[in-house]
């Protein structure tokens, strides 16, 4: 079975990748990627009180999502899929430290409500005043593939656009010993019904394993170092405007086969 959709607005935020417009020439191979520090802008869509409560993963996700829907008609009413492998590791680490201390230190209510996996989705829908359906999911290294499959299924089922946002930040010590993530990265894309405008995307679920390929360049290495950055092969094909077949591992015994046509 195949799922067919179109790709609308795009957003990206990573080291040396400050938004889609600036990053597209890099992703297309026309400009070298320089890397650098990841700058997380404050989420201007939120009122000041909520803005102060946001954590780094929330800011990362909202920046990419905001860019993807900026020029999308009806973007504030889109159904959303938020996909993350690590969630908010820094806050989870802080809560675990407090629990292990056993000294009666109370856990901050702000930290507690930011610790849930759907916190970025909650902030997003608060920011834009949306009551559209939303799903937050995780799939270890394959969270982007799981989110893409969920988003394409929603588009095919309801014939309405869906916003997909995948994001991940590094884990703090000592959690980083067992869950290494090299840097922060987020990607967002709006999937539209197949009858709409934009690059064509066909997804097929394949019940056979597919290994993540060995990095061929620095951007491939970035993709291997952050679960959300596994979106980069798709983003690079879109930036270059080229036809491509991409295989994304999905759990241990399956993969998604993507066919992209400009």
Q: Say how far apart CA 145 and CA 7 lie, in whole Å.
A: 15
Q: Indicate the SS3 state at residue 2.
A: strand
pLDDT of residue 14: 97
Q: Is the peptide bond before 58 cis (omega within 30 degrees of 0)?
A: no
pLDDT for 37:
86
DSSP 15: T
CA distance 104 to 68: 44
> Which residue in the block uniquely carries the two structure tokens 């404050």?
42
Statement: the pTM of the whole predicted model exceeds 0.85: yes
The reported pLDDT for the residue numbered 146 is 97
Q: Which fold has domain 2-198?
A: Peroxisomal Thiolase; Chain A, domain 1 (3.40.47)
Please give the Cα distance from 88 to 95 (Å, whole number). 11
Taking CB atoms within 8 Å and a gap of at least 24, the contacts of 206-215 are 206/247, 206/254, 206/255, 206/256, 206/257, 207/253, 207/254, 208/253, 208/254, 208/255, 209/249, 209/252, 209/253, 209/254, 209/255, 210/247, 210/248, 210/249, 210/255, 211/249, 212/141, 212/249
Q: Which two tokens stand for residue 225?
A: 């170092």
Which residues does residue 5 pair with via DSSP β-bridges, in sequence order?
Answer: 193, 201
pLDDT attached to residue 109: 67
Q: Look at residue 103 in the predicted model and tell me its pLDDT.
A: 65
pLDDT for the residue numbered 165: 98
Q: Within 10 Å of residue 48's Cβ, how many Cβ atoms? A: 7
Pure H helices in the chain: 20-27, 48-53, 56-69, 89-101, 109-114, 119-128, 143-158, 218-224, 232-240
Sign of the CA dihedral running 114, 45, 133, 9:
negative
Domain boundaries, the chain: 2-198
For residue 166, how many C-alpha atoms fall within 13 Å in the half-sphere facing its CB? Answer: 28
Q: Which residues of the chain are under the pLDDT cut of 50? A: none
In the prediction, which pLDDT does 74 show? 75
> Is residue 221 within 8 Å of residue 116, measured between CB atoms?
no
Q: How far is CA 1 from the centre of its chain?
A: 25
């Amino acid at each position: 079975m195949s799922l067919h959709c179109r790709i609308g607005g795009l957003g990206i935020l990573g080291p040396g990748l400050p938004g889609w417009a600036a990053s597209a020439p890099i992703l297309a191979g026309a400009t070298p990627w320089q890397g650098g520090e990841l700058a997380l802008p404050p989420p201007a869509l939120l009122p000041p009180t909520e803005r102060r409560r946001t954590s780094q993963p929330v800011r990362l996700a909202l920046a990419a999502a905001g860019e993807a829907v900026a020029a999308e008609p009806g973007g504030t009413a889109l159904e959303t899929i938020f996909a993350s492998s690590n969630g908010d590791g820094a806050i989870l680490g802080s809560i675990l430290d407090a629990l292990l201390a056993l000294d009666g230190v109370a856990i901050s209510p702000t930290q507690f409500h930011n610790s849930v996996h759907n916190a970025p989705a909650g902030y997003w829908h608060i920011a834009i005043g949306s009551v559209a359906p939303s799903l937050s999911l995780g799939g270890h290294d394959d969270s982007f593939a799981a989110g893409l499959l969920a988003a394409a299924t929603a588009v095919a089922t309801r014939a309405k656009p869906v916003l997909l946002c995948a994001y991940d930040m590094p884990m703090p010590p000592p959690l980083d010993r067992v869950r290494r993530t090299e840097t922060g990265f987020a990607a967002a894309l709006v999937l539209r019904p197949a009858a709409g405008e934009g690059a064509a995307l066909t997804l097929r679920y394949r019940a056979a394993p597919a290994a993540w390929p060995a990095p061929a360049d620095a951007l491939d290495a970035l993709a291997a170092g952050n679960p959300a950055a596994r979106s980069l092969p798709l983003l690079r094909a879109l930036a270059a405007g080229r036809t491509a077949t991409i295989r994304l591992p999905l759990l241990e015994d399956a993969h998604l086969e993507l066919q992209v046509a400009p």
